[in-house]
Amino acid sequence: MGPELVEELVEVGGDRFALLRPADPADLLDEAAFAVDEFLPYWAELWPAARSLASVLPDRLEGVRVLELGCGLGLPSLVAARRGAEVVATDWADQALELLATNAARNGVRLARRNLDWTRPPADLVAAPPDLVVAADVAYEQRNVEPLAALLEALGAVTLLADPGRKAGGALLGRLGASFERDDLGGGVSRLRPRGWPPR
Ligand SMILES: C[S@@+](CC[C@H](N)C(=O)[O-])C[C@H]1O[C@@H](n2cnc3c(N)ncnc32)[C@H](O)[C@@H]1O
């Protein structure tokens, strides 16, 4: 039996979603998973950064290939897909991806999901990068900084990164300064453009 779920109504720029999420993320704590990878069920909450990121997405995204990293409940993915993007939502937590499938179906949204661990990025993804990468509150621990930086550099795409002001978030932006130009979109959201982008 899965965790008890509650429904939350979320509105982003006129797009409305009825999102199911675990009533109490603490119910999902798993000592065995923590022992292997320091895994904590952070996916089970809708973090403020996800709302900030979703709120700066363009109104029209028809045909744009969007990749979300560390999607958790996947609000930016849902908004982007509703606006016409071809979305691949990723996380290392299969439970997050399963619940996102349910939430997408309940809200009439089509998107793809994939298990992706930043420390082991699949070669096919790097070989065919998306048009836009989005990620909310992913640099919440220092150990996340280098794998995320390496992955974002390898993808080399325009990236929207939302961070609530965490120390590791600042470290990630600092680490990416050499390879991306940064625009501050407000609300903790940065738009990163690979230096030399768009290609001539
Ligand atoms: C603080 S939560 C943010 C979730 C969501 N983006 C939001 O803002 O509501 C961090 C997310 O990153 C995921 N995550 C943590 N480490 C990861 C890794 N190494 N690879 C992929 N996802 C990871 C977690 O499962 C979780 O969904």
Query: Is residue 37 in a domain?
Result: no
Evaluate whether residue 19 is within a structural domain: no
Residue 31: the pLDDT is 75
Q: Using DSSP, how many helices (H) and how many strands (E) does the chain show?
A: 7, 9
User: 47: Cβ below 6 Å to ligand 1?
Assistant: yes
Closest CA to 113 of 101, 124, 128, 125: 101
Q: Tell me the mean pLDDT in the region 52-56.
A: 98
Atom of ligand 1 lying closest to residue 43 CA: 27
In this prediction, residue 28 has a pLDDT band, given cuts at 50, 70 and 90, of: confident
Phi, psi of 188 (to 5 degrees): 80, 10
pLDDT for res 24: 86
Q: Would 14 be classed as within a structural domain?
A: no
Confidence of residue 39 (pLDDT cuts 50, 70, 90): low
| Residue 166, domain member (yes or no) | yes
Q: 25: CA distance to ligand 1 center in Å?
A: 14
Domain at 155, CATH number: 3.40.50.150
Domain contains 20 = no
d(CA 140, ligand 1 centre) in Å: 9
> What is the whole-number distance in angstroms between the Cα of residue 136 and the centre of ligand 1?
8
- Between 93 and 35, the more confident residue is 93
**What pLDDT score does 196 carry?**
84
Stronger pLDDT, 151 or 40, i.e. the higher one: 151
- Return d(Cα 134, Cα 175) in angstroms, integer: 17
How far is ligand 1, taken at its centre, from the CA of residue 139, in Å?
9
DSSP state of 25: G
Rounded to 5 degrees, what angle do the CA atoms 6, 90, 119 make? 125
What pLDDT is attached to residue 200? 53
Element of type H or E holding 67: strand 65-69
The answer, yes or no, to whether residue 32 has pLDDT greater than 90, is no
Q: Which runs of consecutive H residues, i.e. helices, occur in the chain?
A: 31-37, 48-55, 75-82, 94-106, 123-127, 142-155, 167-176
- In this structure, is residue 22 part of a structural domain? no
Residue nearest to atom 11 of ligand 1 (CA): 70
pLDDT exceeds 70 at position 70: yes
> Is 29 domain-assigned?
no
Does ligand 1 lie within 6 Å of residue 130's CB atom? Answer: no
pLDDT one-digit tens code per residue, 148-174: 999 999 999 999 999 999 999 999 999
Average pLDDT over residues 7-29: 92
Across the range 32-58, mean pLDDT stands at 87
| pTM (two decimals) | 0.95
Q: Which of 43, 71, 119, 146 to mutate to test the pocket of ligand 1 (most atoms within 8 A of CB)?
A: 43
What's the domain count of the chain? 1
What ligand 1 atom has the least distance to the C-alpha of 68?
6
Provide mean pLDDT across the span 58-80.
98
In this structure, which residue's CA is closest to atom 10 in ligand 1? 138
Per-residue pLDDT averaged across 2-15, rounded?
94
User: pLDDT band at 36, cuts 50/70/90?
Assistant: low
- Average pLDDT along the chain: 94
Is residue 155 situated within a structural domain? Answer: yes
What is the span of the domain harbouring residue 138? 43-194
